[in-house]
Amino acid sequence: MGMKMNLRLIPCLLILWAMTSPALAQKARVQRTVWSDATQTAGTGDAITLAPSPALAALTDLDTVPPTLTCFVAEAVNTTTVTVAISGLTAKPLYKMNGAITTALAANDLRVGQTVCFVRYVTGDAFQMTTQLGNATAGASTPPPIYFRAAKCVNGSGGPGMNLPLTLAPAPDCIPGTNILSGELTFPDLDGEYSVQDSFKVPTGSSGPTAVNIKWRSAGNSGSVVWQIAGICIADDETMDPAFATAQATTDAIKATPNEVNDAQIPSLTVTSCAAGEIYFFRFFRDRNHASDSITSTTTVKLLSLEFVF
On the question of a cis peptide bond just before residue 54, with omega within 30 degrees of 0, the verdict is yes
| pLDDT, mean of residues 247-256 | 94
Which residues does residue 193 pair with via DSSP β-bridges, in sequence order?
A: 287
Give the residue extent of every domain in the chain.
30-129, 146-309
Exposure of 242 by Cβ count < 10 A (0-12 exposed, 13-18 middle, 19+ buried)?
exposed
Q: How confident is the model at residue 295 (pLDDT cuts 50, 70, 90)?
A: confident
Helix or strand holding residue 6 (H, E)? helix 2-20
pLDDT of residue 165: 97
pLDDT at 300 over 70: yes
- Mean pLDDT over 266-294 rounds to 93
Task: Write down the pLDDT at residue 27.
Answer: 40
SS3 120: strand
Residue 18 is predicted with a pLDDT of 44
At residue 309, the pLDDT reads 87
Tell me yes or no: is domain 146-309 CATH 2.60.120.260. Answer: yes
pTM across the whole model? 0.58
Position 26 scores a pLDDT of: 38
d(CA 106, CA 99): 13
